[in-house]
């Protein structure tokens, strides 16, 4: 193993990741509890392993336990173990997780899901530092460092959990930011994962054709950086893996096309809302277009809804072509554009939850294309207003 073990696998030099790494270095040597919070896939388990690998316990076991869905009836045997003959079926003496992790680190993942009974059990052990096996007669003392993780926000955990346990486990809190708030880490992460995929592939497919992919294009990275990443780093890794599989065997680069396809292959949470909302907007625009036909020249007369409309954009971008007869321009339009204000109002009218629709659109890459952001500004009268623009490609793909 590398000298610093998993610590060296933490990729990212955004301000937040630098801080996180510095913090891990600092707290690793202490035997006390650390609570790691952050959305799913941000790297909580990786951080926990890094803490362990930098600690004096690095040569001892790191024992991960998932606290979600552990039935209360199994708690004691799972954590404390049992003596031979303690109950029917106990044919051998078995150590529990606490004993397994002795002198090492116990990682309690999804601690926010621990049952009430589990919380009580845990509290007792953490306070007394002793356990007794089921059917055992004596207490055994323990030397275990406990690390906990949860994807609940810390204030939610504090509200949901027994207060005494919460304070017991949150001795030192480590928060890991969502990937979307540190997008500058994406290029390094992508390069790292591509190296990892090559290594894994070449190890497992010895003798067959090697994997050629070794790079990712700037366009592909820029498309990636427009995504929302509900699943954070895990999702990024997953998308890239899919993109590698979608590329042709001779290709050496992951291109934007592969990444797009990879993203669209997996429905995003709430995507149906995003699709339905765009369809609704499009239909609204079609059925209302006559209201805007006569107004395209005077943008300051835009309707109260603030729909800038496709012709306004056309006019702004191709003054030589517009104004003209709309019929002949019909097949020229490239985009449908709404001011942000109009979008919000229309979505509300349509009964959509605006925030989550925008999140879906962003996640699916509909609001960005290559390096060109699709949230742009337009002019309404003398004002400059932000707008959402959907390219014809997007609309065709989704609606037509």
Applying CB under 5 A, which residues contact Mg ion?
Answer: 45
* C-beta of 45 vs 261, nearer to Mg ion: 45
Q: Which does 253 bind (CB under 5 to 8 A by kind): ligand ADP, Mg ion, none?
A: none
* C-beta of 45 vs 334, nearer to Mg ion: 45
H helices then E strands: how many in the chain? 18, 16
By CB under 6 A, tell whether 94 contacts ligand ADP.
no
* C-beta of 107 vs 280, nearer to Mg ion: 107
DSSP string for residues in 246-265: HS-TT--EE-HHHHHHHHHH
Q: How many residues bind ligand ADP (CB under 6 A)?
A: 17
By CB under 6 A, tell whether 24 contacts ligand ADP.
no
By CB under 6 A, tell whether 154 contacts ligand ADP.
no
Closest approach, Cβ 136 to Mg ion, in A, equals: 32
Neighbours of 211 (CB within 10 A): 18
Q: How far is residue 81 from each of residues 74, 98, 135, measured CA to CA in Å?
A: 10, 8, 9
| Region for residue 156 given its phi and psi (left: phi exceeds 0; alpha: psi -120 to 50; beta: otherwise) | alpha
Helix, strand, or coil (residue 35): strand
Rounded Cα–Cα distance for residues 127 and 115 (Å): 18
Tokens of 342: 């109009």
Dihedral pair phi/psi, residue 372, rounded to 5°: -95, 115
Q: Which does 11 bind (CB under 5 to 8 A by kind): ligand ADP, Mg ion, none?
A: ligand ADP
By CB under 6 A, tell whether 9 contacts ligand ADP.
yes
Interface residue with ligand ADP among 133, 145, 237, 296 (CB under 6 A) is: 237
Closest approach, Cβ 178 to ligand ADP, in A, equals: 10
Q: Which stretch binds ligand ADP (CB under 6 A): 10-18, 138-146, 154-162, 206-214?
A: 10-18
| Region for residue 368 given its phi and psi (left: phi exceeds 0; alpha: psi -120 to 50; beta: otherwise) | beta
Residues making contact with ligand ADP (CB under 6 A): 9-12, 38, 40-46, 189, 192, 233-234, 237
């Amino acid at each position: 193993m590398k000298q610093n073990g998993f610590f060296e696998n933490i990729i990212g030099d955004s301000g937040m990741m630098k801080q996180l790494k510095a913090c891990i270095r600092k707290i690793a040597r202490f035997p006390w509890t650390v609570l790691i919070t952050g959305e799913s896939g941000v790297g909580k388990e990786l951080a926990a392993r890094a803490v362990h690998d930098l600690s004096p316990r690095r040569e001892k076991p790191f024992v991960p336990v998932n606290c979600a869905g552990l039935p209360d009836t199994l708690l004691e045997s799972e954590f404390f173990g049992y003596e031979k003959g303690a109950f029917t079926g106990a044919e051998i003496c078995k150590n529990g997780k606490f004993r397994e992790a002795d002198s090492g680190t116990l990682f309690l993942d999804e601690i926010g899901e621990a049952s009430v009974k589990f919380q009580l059990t845990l509290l007792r052990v953490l306070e007394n530092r002793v356990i007794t096996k089921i059917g055992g007669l004596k207490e055994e003392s323990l030397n275990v460092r406990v690390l906990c993780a949860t994807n609940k926000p810390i204030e939610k955990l504090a509200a949901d959990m027994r207060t005494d346990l919460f304070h017991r486990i949150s001795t030192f809190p480590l928060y890991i930011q969502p990937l979307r708030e540190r997008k500058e880490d994406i290029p390094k992460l992508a390069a790292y994962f591509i190296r990892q995929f090559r290594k894994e592939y070449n190890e497992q497919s010895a003798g067959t054709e090697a994997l050629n992919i070794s790079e990712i294009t700037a366009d592909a990275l820029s498309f990636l950086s427009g995504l929302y990443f509900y699943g954070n780093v895990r999702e990024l890794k997953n998308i890239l893996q899919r993109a590698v599989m979608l590329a042709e065997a001779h290709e050496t680069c992951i291109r934007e096309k592969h990444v797009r396809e990879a993203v669209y292959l997996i429905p995003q949470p709430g995507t149906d809302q995003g699709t339905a909302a765009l369809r609704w907007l499009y239909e609204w625009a079609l059925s209302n277009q006559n209201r805007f036909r006569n107004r395209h020249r005077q943008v300051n007369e835009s309707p109260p809804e603030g729909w800038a409309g496709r012709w306004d954009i056309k006019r702004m971008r191709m003054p030589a072509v517009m104004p003209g007869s709309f019929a002949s321009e019909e097949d020229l339009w490239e985009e449908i554009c709404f001011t942000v204000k109009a979008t919000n109002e229309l979505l509300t009218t349509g009964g959509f939850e605006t925030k989550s629709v925008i999140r879906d659109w962003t996640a699916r890459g509909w609001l960005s294309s290559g390096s060109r952001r699709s949230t742009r500004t337009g002019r309404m009268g003398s004002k400059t207003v932000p707008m959402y623009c959907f390219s014809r490609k997007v609309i065709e793909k989704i609606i037509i």
